[in-house]
């Protein structure tokens, strides 16, 4: 594991180096031991400054580097007459935490404290009754505890950062998926409807080309209107990337009237009834009307299609009913699934029933 706080060893090495050189300057004076002391600290700094690969020897590589560090620390302590370098041994449990985890770190920290007590026992007679050595041992033990705690905090912070990055990546992926779904709904609800209308009108124009030239020309004009309308909606969809639950054509009643007129082509098969006072245009109702009319014209075989819009106190209700053959056991298609998602985002509901013909009922709160 990469150490999240690689600067801590270097700071300790620098502090001990300055303290040791200062002690030599005011005491015995610089000499060979001081030069060796400084050189070993520089070697330790270089050792901890680089990342050692573990792929070539999954256990041996970090273990070998750690053993080399321990040997160098022992050599520094042997060449340091001031005794300041013993503080560097807190780095052993600190660095072990990042390689082998908490258990090894705690065991190694306890071993370092025990080793210092052993050194005092060998070198200082009756040290256990001398306050300065008891204080040194307690301060070293406290340093070990703080080093392990700092390593634990650093590891948890690193893990939390990794989890946060993973969460942010998931959020970005979900946002992209949501936007793809929105664009797919737009393509289906807008282009799909208008392509269906164009197909119906062109079929009508072809059928009546030799029988009713005026009716055929009117059907072509309606198909052209649907094509232009599809182009306008594509441009509007490209310009806005936000959800469309609360925005829509200016004047839903007028937009629905225009839609029915061009889709019906003057045949009288589709009728529209609007009641109540419109408070604000709702694009989701317009999309619902497109979905209901497209399915009725394409699949139901209906001869009569009725569209009712009622603006009530609590919200708006759209009802598209036809006298066709109903949907039977057919599975719900992408269009209705997309419409349900639109209604969910708008806080509304959609219900499709098939007793005689098909009835699509949509409710949207204000």
CA separation for the pair 350, 321 (Å, rounded) = 13
CA separation for the pair 290, 259 (Å, rounded) = 8
Cβ atoms of 24 and 81 closer than 8 Å: yes
In terms of Cβ atoms closer than 10 Å to its own Cβ (0-12, 13-18, 19+), residue 102 is: middle
Question: Any idea what the Cα angle at residue 265 is, between residues 262 and 270, rounded to 5°?
Answer: 85
Q: What are the backbone dihedrals phi and psi of residue 205, each rounded to the nearest 5 degrees, phi first?
A: -60, -40
Q: Which of 47, 142, 148 is nearest to 98 (CA)?
A: 148
pLDDT of residue 334: 64
Question: Any idea what the Cα angle at residue 51 is, between residues 49 and 54, rounded to 5°?
Answer: 150
Cβ atoms of 324 and 301 closer than 8 Å: yes
pLDDT of residue 345: 79
pLDDT of residue 166: 85
CB atoms within 10 A of CB 171: 10
In angstroms and rounded to an integer, the radius of gyration of the C-alpha atoms of the chain is 40
Question: Any idea what the Cα angle at residue 57 is, between residues 54 and 60, rounded to 5°?
Answer: 95
pLDDT of residue 108: 92
* Secondary-structure breakdown of the chain: helix, strand, coil percentages, each rounded to the nearest 5: 70, 10, 25
Is this model's pTM higher than 0.85 or not?
A: no
Q: Supply 182's token pair.
A: 């929105």
Q: What is the mean pLDDT of each run of 10 residues along the chain (366 residues)?
A: 71 86 76 82 82 48 82 87 85 89 92 91 89 90 92 89 85 72 66 74 78 79 77 60 44 80 76 84 80 77 86 88 71 71 82 82 86
Task: Domains for the chain: give ranges and CATH numbers.
Answer: 7-168 (no CATH), 177-365 (3.30.565.10)
Helix axes 91-100 and 60-79, enclosed angle (nearest 10)? 180
């Amino acid at each position: 594991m990469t150490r999240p706080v690689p600067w801590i060893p270097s700071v300790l090495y620098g502090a001990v180096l300055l303290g040791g050189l200062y002690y030599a300057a005011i005491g015995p004076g610089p000499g060979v031991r001081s030069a060796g002391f400084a050189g070993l600290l520089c070697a330790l700094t270089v050792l901890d400054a680089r990342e050692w690969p573990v792929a070539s020897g999954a256990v041996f590589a970090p273990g070998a580097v750690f053993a080399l560090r321990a040997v160098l620390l022992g050599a520094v302590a042997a060449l340091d007459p001031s005794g300041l370098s013993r503080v560097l041994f807190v780095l052993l449990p600190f660095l072990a935490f990042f390689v082998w985890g908490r258990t090894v770190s705690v065991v190694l920290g306890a071993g370092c404290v025990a080793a210092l007590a052993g050194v005092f026992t060998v070198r200082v007679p009756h040290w256990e009754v001398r306050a300065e050595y008891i204080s040194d041992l307690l301060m070293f033990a406290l340093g070990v505890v703080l080093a392990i705690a700092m390593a634990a905090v650093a590891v948890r912070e690193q893990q939390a950062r990794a989890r946060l990055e993973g969460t942010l990546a998931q959020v970005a992926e979900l946002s992209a998926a949501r936007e793809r779904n929105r664009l797919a709904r737009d393509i289906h609800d807008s282009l799909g409807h208008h392509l269906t209308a164009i197909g119906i009108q062109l079929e009508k124009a072809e059928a009546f080309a030799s029988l009713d030239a005026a009716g055929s020309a009117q059907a072509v004009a309606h198909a052209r209107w649907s094509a232009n309308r599809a182009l306008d909606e594509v441009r509007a969809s490209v310009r806005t990337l936000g959800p469309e639950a609360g925005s829509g054509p200016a004047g839903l009643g007028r937009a629905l009237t225009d839609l029915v007129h061009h889709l019906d082509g003057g045949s009288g098969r589709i009728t529209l009834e609007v009641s109540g006072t419109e408070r604000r245009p709702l694009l989701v109702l317009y999309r619902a009307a497109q979905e209901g009319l497209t399915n009725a014209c394409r699949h139901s075989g209906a001869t009569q299609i009725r569209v009712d819009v009622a603006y009530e106190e609590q919200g708006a209700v759209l009802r598209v009913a036809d006298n066709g053959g109903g949907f039977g056991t057919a599975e719900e298609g992408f269009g209705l699934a997309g419409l349900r998602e639109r209604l969910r985002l708008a806080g509304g509901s959609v219900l499709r029933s098939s007793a005689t013909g098909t009835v699509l009922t949509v409710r949207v709160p204000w």
